[in-house]
Amino acid sequence: MQHGTLPAGAFRAAAVLATVVVALLVGCSNTPDEPETKTELLLGTTVTVRIYEGAEDRIFERVFERVKEIEERMSTDEEDYDNTELLEVNRNAGGRPVRVSEDTFHVVERALEYSRLSEGAFDVSIGPLVKLWGIGTERAGVPEQEKIEEILPRVDYSLVELDPEEQTIRLPDEGMALDVGAIAKGYAADEAARILTEAGVEHALLDFGGNIITVGHKPDGSPWKIGIQNPLEERGRFLGIVENGPMTVVTSGDYERNFEENDVRYHHIIDGDTGKPARTGLSSVTILTEDSTEADALSTALYVMGVERGAALAEELDGIEAAFVTKDRKVYMTRGMSEHFEITNEGFEVVDLEEAIAAAAEHRRRRR
């Protein structure tokens, strides 16, 4: 069995042996001042904060303490944590409501919003399936179909009970479990960017294991250039470069955490309908927008939805641009995305998303 590079559970920092920087900053600042950079293993990935100017005392500590606080509240990794707010929620499934911090309540509330928007493609109650597959852990393996079927009815975001007055979360059925691994990195990145902005930092770049968020422009006023990982090649090989002003750019892909069994690769993004890693012909989805929490949730959601359904959802939402990379080396981009994302790898064919969808609809109409 061959393991991928990310560790057990969404937040397991200790076991990150290889860096999982899906996207990297391309080139350096043109100013003579070198940025100050700090990296820690948090949220199950490598978190890098790079401040180009205006780093006041203790700013790095403040940012990393905040990220750690989010991890300690929301991790569902029992190997790293005896207890967290979400573990408490999960352990009381079928029983009492659990009071949580405003932070956790907010993230679960937003996760539910994206669960609804994506009609369960993103499903915050995916926990039991994530645990069953154990992808990224030592025990990763293909479960018996019977086990999957037994668990499927417990994956249903619409059953999650939130009480905003009491700030409680309740899971009505035993065996249900929340997992915010697909959204918490984005939330932490938003929080880190907020702290930096409030502290007066004008130029910074944050990389939360491929969730990139920028603060301001580069010090010389030019746009940021972010390299996007080629999902079909080894780490550090770019598919292309996203160039923009303040933004967040977030990628979900099958290369991040996976294992192989009998020549089949099983990855970490699970389709709640089948109970198995999503198979939509995609290798990755990249979202470009301003809110990293939203970008994180949507990159996962659109990966599960596939090109057509995913594009329809991206279209519905304001300010969301998307790029879908298929296993057969096509890149489908929304118009807005193609204005910022230059595919530099010649092995890929760029396809205009709107045109592709119109052609598919026409094809279906003719066949009817």
Q: How far apart are CA 186 and CA 209, in angstroms?
A: 10
The residue sitting closest to ligand AMP, measured at its beta carbon, is: 181
Beta carbon nearer to ligand AMP, 265 or 335: 265
Check residue 278 and report its DSSP letter.
Answer: -
Check residue 255 and report its DSSP letter.
Answer: T
Beta carbon nearer to ligand AMP, 121 or 241: 121
In the chain, what are the helix, strand and coil shares in percent, each to the nearest 5?
35, 25, 40
80 binds Mg ion (CB under 5 A): no
Beta carbon nearer to Mg ion, 269 or 331: 269
**Contacted entry of ligand AMP, Mg ion, none for residue 270, CB cut-off 5 to 8 Å set by kind:** ligand AMP
133 binds ligand AMP (CB under 6 A): no
Beta carbon nearer to Mg ion, 85 or 294: 294
- Two tokens, residue 134: 């154990």
179 binds ligand AMP (CB under 6 A): yes
Contacts of 46 (CB under 8 A, 6+ apart): 16, 19, 20, 21, 39, 40, 207, 209
Q: How far apart are CA 27 and CA 17, in angstroms?
A: 25
* Helix intervals (H) in 255-341: 292-316, 335-340
The stretch among 118-126, 311-319, 329-337, 344-352 that binds ligand AMP (CB under 6 A) is 118-126
**Contacted entry of ligand AMP, Mg ion, none for residue 256, CB cut-off 5 to 8 Å set by kind:** ligand AMP
Interface with Mg ion (CB under 5 A), residue from 259, 296, 334, 338: 296
The stretch among 119-127, 169-177, 342-350, 357-365 that binds ligand AMP (CB under 6 A) is 119-127
Please say whether the beta carbons of 317 and 122 come within 8 A.
no
Please list every residue from 4 through 43 that binds ligand AMP, using CB under 6 A.
Answer: 10
Q: How far apart are CA 67 and CA 319, in angstroms?
A: 26
The stretch among 169-177, 237-245, 268-276, 321-329 that binds ligand AMP (CB under 6 A) is 268-276
Q: How far apart are CA 313 and CA 303, in angstroms?
A: 12
Beta carbon nearer to Mg ion, 62 or 309: 309
Residues facing 341 on adjacent strands: 242
Crossing angle of helices 184-198 and 102-117, in 10° steps, is 130
Q: How far is the CB of 126 from Mg ion (least distance, A)?
A: 11
Name the nearest CA neighbour of 89 among 80, 101, 272, 120. Answer: 101
Q: How many CA atoms lie within 13 A of 106 on its CB side?
A: 12
The stretch among 69-77, 175-183, 262-270, 337-345 that binds Mg ion (CB under 5 A) is 175-183
Q: How far is the CB of 147 from Mg ion (least distance, A)?
A: 25
Q: Fill in the per-residue mask, 288 to 327: x = in contact with ligand AMP (CB under 6 A), - = not in contact.
A: --------x--xx---x-----------------------
Question: What SS3 state is found at 39?
Answer: strand
Q: What residues line the site for ligand AMP (CB under 6 A)?
A: 10, 122-123, 126, 130, 179, 181-182, 252, 256-257, 268-270, 272, 296, 299-300, 304
